[in-house]
Structure 1
């Protein structure tokens, strides 16, 4: 039995606690390896940088877009079986990396196995967390899940640094064992809990009306998620290129660590507040913070870049959690399907950011000031959400004036 929340629902059940711990270990193991893939493929295995870039781009696209397949698979075999399948594929991928350190073909095969496993795992993981939870408990569960993942992201690269260059086969062997043990733990999980009775009744009676009311409060979460990731990934991809020459590599590393730690701490603390925001207000806070963060970064220097990272963190915390909550609230599909679509949206946003960002940064360099890059990103963070909201409003009204508005327009025309 788990502890009960103030709302009367369980705070964290035993299976949920295991899954949160597993989320940390899985991300820790993955990010002990994945950030170093470009170095391993290029320097150790001799692949050209163009080939390395293409391999990593396709692997990232598979990892994000494959979330849709996860939603379909859970409908056939269930959440626990999907997670077990995903972990088996990822474990096999890390195992193939061991001989892959002498073969570029095996290394690429291993990377794609790991990416496919990740695509299947995350939607099922999130869905298992929220499937049997009361709606009031979902924001905190998703926030704590995000904290577990971000803690693994923060600690994985430094934990692997002593081994990645000198003894990569030892590292891959350790990660393979870690994933095998975590997979064995998943085999002991019970089937996902059913939706609470109160929520089920609401879904059959009044929830459809509630979803429609929420639908009128802003653009589709799929589109907002794509745009959120699009804006954020400019910061993720190009901060190093901008910050290291102006400060130092040590400071840049400290900014990344601080960003990950701040994200891990603040998202659970702000979860209830974020859940209470309307979608439009969440977009204003989130995109406004990201725009302010890129504007601060444009000033350069230690304080401005640090402040920019903190503001970007606030925008990420608000938008990424609210997008998932809104997508769940508006959809009658199973949670795994919803999270799979959200992963696809994130992948499209990341892909678009990568395609546009290089051209923008090159243009800023050609103009003689890379600060123009951050100003351009800031303007996008302000303008694109407004255009998206206007397009959603126009779509809801069918591109026409309401009936009363048309009558008034006809009267004005007849008087003229």
Structure 2
């Protein structure tokens, strides 16, 4: 990736100014972002994000096993329940904007944590009742739908635009660390003593919720940022978006759909491909290494990623994913490990840039922006699941699972080309009219 330019020379996408946002130009001119220490509320939110994800992923990855083996639900029913829960968790993010606008960000987080705490508590008696267990899962999913956009909005509300990449990348690292540690931490209890596990998670969420009740009514940036408990009509920096609505280019919502769509092929189907060709232990090591790389790499690369123009970010992100898919398709321990590292780089670039671009282009409150981004992620994950199952099945029937990764890699190569071609097509008529004038 291109580092910050400190000599005033044009960076990626400069020259004609194509795809170069005001944010990128300003950072390229300043050369370095001043590091402002995190406030106490921001540090608490990041710690809380880790604990919340740790508790959630201590149980949610095992949900299919609990529903099927312990409660006796058929696999078809289990799949339907999990699909509905995922839909609520992702698509439900769109209600975060209206809710936070009415009751404020802190109260929205408290409401979300109350729903999740009640849901995990209901799992304890639900271990003998499928109806209670399904209801508990839906409560947990509804709480997640509301909490995640409100959490990220509270974190960046009132923060300057230059501080957003650091805050969002730190938030992503906290969530990913919890996701990585949750399943192994719960493994000794999940089947033998699930009641104890759910009780512990319930207590954890109750304690985290109590901590949220002590947060200041303003944003995490503190009263000096001039924000109040709620959502402003401007972006998180307290100003209108920088010509994003007038700037032609791929929609961050569409790019997020396609980014998650491409990434989830790796997430969903690597196990089917890697375990028979290597081992379950090696697959677990790849996932652990991926999580560590993501947790460490996100904060380290945040400012460099943010300094890229959006078109450059699409080329770097999707290009890294394409190379990663090709490496996985090459097979072997080295190919799968290298492929995972390249997919991690693609995730870091695309997911952070999509959030930053969505914030910069929108005049809506941050909670509404993050809610729409969650919806986009849900659409992408759903599409990837539908397409990927058919595609992987066809590749296996043809006797070449490697062909699956080749096709997916080709998609990753074509996506930025198609997205940026639409961008040029949208700009060319303006240039034609100007030339005719």
* TM-score, length-scaled by structure 2: 0.87
Deviation digits for residues 14-59 of structure 1 (CA, Å, limit 9, x no counterpart): 0110010000000000000000011111111111111111111111
1:83 is aligned to 2:83:
no
**1:374 equivalent in structure 2:** 405
Larger proportion of helix: 1
Deviation of the 1:202 alpha carbon:
11
Provide the secondary structure at the position in 1 that maps to 2:244: helix
Change (3 A) 1:160 1:280: same
Query: How much has 1:204 moved relative to structure 2?
Result: 8.2
Contact 2:157/2:236, CA 8 A, preserved across alignment = no
Deviation, structure 1 residue 385: 2.5
Distance 1:117 1:55, change over 3 A: same
1:15 to 38, 41, 58: 41
Q: Distance in 2 between matches of 1:114 and 1:202?
A: 28
Aligned mate of 1:338, from 369, 386, 401 = 369
Are residue 211 (structure 1) and residue 237 (structure 2) matched?
A: no
Q: Could you tell me which runs of 5 or more consecutive residues in structure 2 were left unpaired when the two chains were aligned.
A: 1-31
- Pair 1:339–1:209, CA change in 2 (3 A): closer
1:323 aligns with 2:354: yes
Greater CA drift, 103-112 or 241-250: 103-112
CA contact (8 A) 2:150 2:367 kept: yes
Asked if structure 1 preserves the Cα contact closer than 8 Å seen for 2:113 and 2:147, the reply is yes
Aligned match of 2:432: 402
Deviation at 1:132, TM superposition (A): 1.9
Aligned to 2:6: none
What is the match of residue 127 of structure 1?
153
Is 1:298 aligned with 2:329?
yes
Q: Pick from 384, 404, 419: which aligns with 1:353?
A: 384
CA distance in 2, matches of 1:296, 1:43: 36
Checking the alignment, whether the CA contact within 8 Å between 1:10 and 1:133 is kept in structure 2 is no
The aligned residue for residue 410 of structure 1 is: none
After TM superposition, list the pairs within 5 Å mapping 1:174-189 onto structure 2: 174-189=200-215
In structure 1, what is the equivalent of residue 72 of structure 2?
A: 46
**SS in structure 2 opposite 1:332?**
coil
Take 2:34 and 2:258, find their aligned partners in 1: how far apart are those partners? 36
CA positional deviation for 1:388 = 2.4
Q: Which residue in the other structure is 1:172 paired with?
A: 198
Does residue 285 of structure 2 align to residue 254 of structure 1?
yes
Mapped to 2, the partners of 1:240 and 1:55 lie a distance apart of 22
How many residues in Structure 1 have an aligned counterpart in Structure 2? Answer: 398
- Per-residue displacement from partner, 1:80-128 (whole Å, max 9, x unpaired)? 0000000000000001110111111111111100000000000000000
Q: What's the secondary structure of 1:124's corresponding residue?
A: helix
Q: Which residue of 2 aligns with 1:388?
A: 419
- In the TM superposition, what is the alpha-carbon distance from 1:229 to its structure 2 partner? 0.3
Q: 1:413 is matched with which residue?
A: none
Decide whether aligned partners of structure 1 residues 143 and 201 sit closer, same or farther in structure 2, where only a CA change above 3 A counts: closer
- Which stretch of the first structure deviates more once superposed, 189-198 or 150-159? 189-198
Counterpart of 2:23? none
Question: Pairwise mapping of residues 213-228 of structure 1 onto structure 2 (< 5 A)?
Answer: 215-216=247-248, 218-228=249-259
8 Å CA contact 2:325, 2:408 repeated in 1: yes
Q: 2-side partners of 1:204 and 1:139: how far apart?
A: 16
Cα drift, residue 394 of structure 1: 3.1
| Whole-angstrom CA distance in 1 between matches of 2:161 and 2:434 | 38
Structure-2 separation of matches of 1:342 and 1:274: 18
**How far apart, CA to CA, are the structure 1 residues paired with 2:389 and 2:244?**
39
Q: Distance in 2 between matches of 1:344 and 1:183?
A: 25
Q: CA distance change for structure 1 residues 195 and 309 in 2, over 3 Å: closer, same or farther?
A: farther
Flag structure 1 segments of 5+ consecutive residues without an equivalent: 1-5, 408-416
Partner Cα separation in structure 1 for residue 309 and residue 235 of structure 2: 24
Q: Does 1:233 align with 2:264?
A: yes
SS of alignment partner, residue 66 of structure 1: helix
Q: Is the 8 A contact 2:325 2:405 kept in 1?
A: yes
What does residue 263 of structure 1 align with?
A: 294
Displacement, 1:403?
A: 2.0
CA contact (8 A) 1:9 1:134 kept: no
Tell me how large the CA RMSD over aligned residues is.
2.2
Q: Distance in 1 between matches of 2:405 and 2:94?
A: 33
Question: Partners of 1:240 and 1:291 in 2: how far apart?
Answer: 18
